[in-house]
Amino acid sequence: MAIEVRNIVKKFGSFAALDSVDLKVADGELLALLGPSGSGKTTLLRIIAGLDWPDAGEVSIDGENALVRGASERQVGFVFQHYALFRHMTVFENVAFGLRVQPRAIRKDEATIRARVKELLDLVQLDWLANRYPSQLSGGQRQRIALARALAIEPRILLLDEPFGALDAKVRKELRQWLRSLHNEIHVTSIFVTHDQEEALEVANRVVVMDRGRIEQVGTPGEVYDNPATAFVHGFIGESIVLPVDVSGDAVRLDGRPLNIAAHGAASGAAKLFIRRHDMAIGPAGTGSLEGAVRHVRSFGPIQRAEVALSGGGGRTVIEIDAPRDRELEAGEIVSLQPRRYRIFAAQD
């Protein structure tokens, strides 16, 4: 089901958790809400679920106004970061809960409920845990049960609030891939909240980057990584080198020295130059627009990460670059650097 959010405002006291947010989610999408803590992503998710109420704005699910319905009437599957399984019920009863509380008129008979729960436990590959209690399960198992429980009500949309946030790194990776393939299987429109960019880029069809109650950019993982719309997105997604520069006309200067790059229409004045670590070409001294001394090299996998102290500005500016292993760098070596790809954003403060 498609979801549409228009002009949502939510304040906690004087703090604006959401500041006129608009968002459209297409049917069958797997969307990530990505942002640092306090960016409003969880609040937005809870408003769509009906667990929080906006101060202004509209939410519609499948074309109908969702705000006239409470959370229990929205038929929205919600998965919590800390699972929120019913601790006094077995895994089986947890999954069956949504079916047992249905109004008598549409409630299924016991045999149908049992068959459905069995089917869901098979789907999350945990049918052998049916008679255990949540406290006897591992974190990854609990989260899969929580997902099965949410799917039991045949939700129109599925909302996941930092679903893997409380799990350790290895389990998180496994569950990520599992969620991806599960979505391919059942195709329910899903939104998940995360502060982990890798998770968002790896799992979602589209990523919504949020900061301070506003949406900074919406796009495919490739778009937000390669064409960040704002300085925030560039800094938040992927690792970037950020240098304070001055733009006048088409010239860009660092510490008063001109850099051999074009301003690409950036407004004159103070600005920030963003370069991905791996987008810096390394050459012998005197061939590029930046020059510096290699201070320290660490090699792992296909790359070597070098700390370079830029000359000029008293050598105080130290940047980290990633270079392929084919050209061995050594501490103490003077290298010249040339940005291959870069973005310039006007300095905000």
Partner 1 sequence: MSMQPGYVTSTTRMRGYAPAADVSVAAPSPRRQSARPLPIAAPRDLRTEPGPIRFIIIALAVTFLSIFVVLPLVVVFAQAFSKGISAYLGALAEPEALAAIRLTLLVAAISVTLNLVFGVIAAWAISKFDFAGKTFLITLIDLPFSVSPVISGLVFVLLFGAQGFFGPWLQAHNVHILFAVPGIALATIFVTFPFVARALIPLMQEQGTLEEEAAISLGASGLQTFFRVTLPNIKWGLLYGVLLCNARAMGEFGAVSVVSGHIRGETNTMPLLVEILYNEYQFVSSFAIASLLAMLALITLVVKTILERRLDEGRVPDGD
Which residue spans within the chain are E strands per DSSP?
A: 3-12, 15-25, 30-34, 56-61, 64-65, 76-79, 157-161, 189-194, 206-211, 214-219, 240-248, 251-254, 257-259, 269-276, 280-284, 290-300, 303-310, 318-324, 334-339, 343-346
| Per-residue 3-state assignment (H helix, E strand, C coil) for 195-212 | CCHHHHHHHCCEEEEEEC
Give the residue with the Cβ less far from partner 1, 78 or 345: 78
Judged by beta carbon, residue 134 or residue 221, the one nearer partner 1 is: 134
Element (H, E) at 44: helix 41-49
Q: Is 50 in the site for partner 1 (CB under 8 A)?
A: yes
Per CB under 8 A, 332 contacts partner 1? yes
State the pairing for strand pair 206-211/30-34: parallel
| Interaction mask 3-42, partner 1, x per CB under 8 A | ----------------------------------------
Mask of contacts with partner 1, 256-295, x by CB under 8 A? ---------------------------------------x
Using the rule CB under 8 A, is 90 a contact of partner 1?
A: no
- 328 near partner 1 (CB under 8 A): no
Angle subtended by helix axes 110-123 and 91-100, to nearest 10: 130
Of 15 and 86, which CB lies nearer to partner 1 in the complex structure?
86
- By CB under 8 A, is residue 80 in contact with partner 1? yes
Which range touches partner 1 (CB under 8 A), out of 30-38, 95-103, 113-121, 257-265?
A: 95-103
Site residues for partner 1 per CB under 8 A: 49-51, 70-78, 80, 82, 84-88, 97-98, 101-102, 134-135, 138-139, 146, 149-150, 152-153, 166-168, 295-296, 331-332
